[in-house]
Amino acid sequence: MALAEFLKSLDALLTAASETFAAIDSDEALESARVAFLGAKQGQLKATQKAMGSIAPEDRPAAGKRFNEVKQQLEATFQEAKARLASAGARGPDELTERFDPTLPGLPLRIGRLHPITQTIEELKDIMGRLGFSVALGPEIEDEWHNFEALNIPAEHPARDPLENFYLAAAKTTSDGPLLLRSQTSTVQIRVMERTPPPVRVISLGRVYRPDTADRTHYPMFHQMEGLLIDTQVTMADLKSVLRLFATSYLGSDVHIRFRPSFFPFTEPSVEADFSWNAGWVEFGGAGMVDPNVLRSVGYDPERVTGFAFGLGVERLCMRRHGITDIRDLYRNDVRFLHQF
């Protein structure tokens, strides 16, 4: 056989094989094409190889070189077709339908829920609402009058130290004087009394800010529930009854409450309230009879009306209720933790 004729037959074989393998769509077709082109006994490639024996010896190197190239290309085309069939099979519509079992239960959707502190706030409002307290709101950015002055905390008082508060640098230039993030919800007492004549019976719940170092029971941002009751002949006994009633409603009748004498510039006398927890005591709030100076600063007559006020830590109540031992867990935003409430 002449070299030119041999090379031509190789090209024809390559074209035919490429077209056949490209059109293959089943395992059976792939196998019969493999036998037809690449079969070791009767495949067309084998037959072409045999024809090489009839080529003139001086032309054989060129013929052999081209034969090997075509052989490699044929192998590659076969492998390509095989891979294409395998991947189509893996996601073939028939197979999907076979694997789909409509009787299996679906994947549960994770539904979001309210943050435990929001849930606590709602519940506290509910309990206090039943005791006749309505909800008052106040701003988180306060002036010195409401955060200190009207609460009987004069200019030289250590509670006003810039190191104990978050003053707003930008606010220094305003005509209102320095502004700060409120450090207690007692500010709302003043705002309510300024605009409401007695009697008053309100609570106010919200965020307060202090540059406290975070530990298991402290966080630089936390929530307080302020309570204020002003009327004629209000006594310390009323204050203690309301706090006891509130605490047992929220924490359960087995909780022990104790009151310790304390000091706040805006109440006289003042107490701190603790609840029992894990064989110890945890402070949950401060309280007292509203100081006559405070009543006077908002235009009330201390000879005619008296009242009590309290400020409770919402986080600590929530922690005691749910057995949370580290306040920081409430603000880590770990969904595994938050999802338990």
Closest CB to ligand FA5 among residues 206, 313: 313
Reference 306, options 218, 217, 219, 200; nearest CA is 200
Reference 183, options 141, 216, 154; nearest CA is 141
Strands in the chain per DSSP E: 134-135, 141-143, 179-181, 200-209, 221-231, 257-264, 267-277, 280-290, 306-313
CA 173 to the chain's CA centroid: 37
User: How far apart, in whole angstroms, are the C-alpha atoms of residue 223 and residue 315?
Assistant: 7
Residue 102: CB minimum distance to ligand FA5, A: 52
Residue 169: CB minimum distance to ligand FA5, A: 22
Closest CB to ligand FA5 among residues 45, 271: 271
Residue 140: CB minimum distance to ligand FA5, A: 15
Residue 291: CB minimum distance to ligand FA5, A: 9
Closest CB to ligand FA5 among residues 21, 219: 219
Closest CB to ligand FA5 among residues 116, 313: 313
Closest CB to ligand FA5 among residues 300, 310: 310
Residue 90: CB minimum distance to ligand FA5, A: 57
Residue 237: CB minimum distance to ligand FA5, A: 16
β-pair partners for 273? 259, 285
Closest CB to ligand FA5 among residues 140, 283: 283
User: How far apart, in whole angstroms, are the C-alpha atoms of residue 55 and residue 299?
Assistant: 122
User: How far apart, in whole angstroms, are the C-alpha atoms of residue 204 and residue 209?
Assistant: 15
Residue 234: CB minimum distance to ligand FA5, A: 13
Is residue 1 helix, strand or coil?
coil
User: How far apart, in whole angstroms, are the C-alpha atoms of residue 276 and residue 88?
Assistant: 68
Name, in order, each residue with C-beta under 8 angstroms of 242's C-beta and a sequence gap of 6 or more. Answer: 131, 227, 229, 308, 310
Closest CB to ligand FA5 among residues 20, 120: 120
Site of interaction with ligand FA5 (CB under 6 A): 184, 186, 210, 212, 218-219, 222, 224, 264, 267, 270, 283-288, 309-311, 313, 315-316, 327
Residue 112: CB minimum distance to ligand FA5, A: 25
Is residue 143 helix, strand or coil?
strand
User: How far apart, in whole angstroms, are the C-alpha atoms of residue 200 and residue 133?
Assistant: 9
Closest CB to ligand FA5 among residues 120, 270: 270
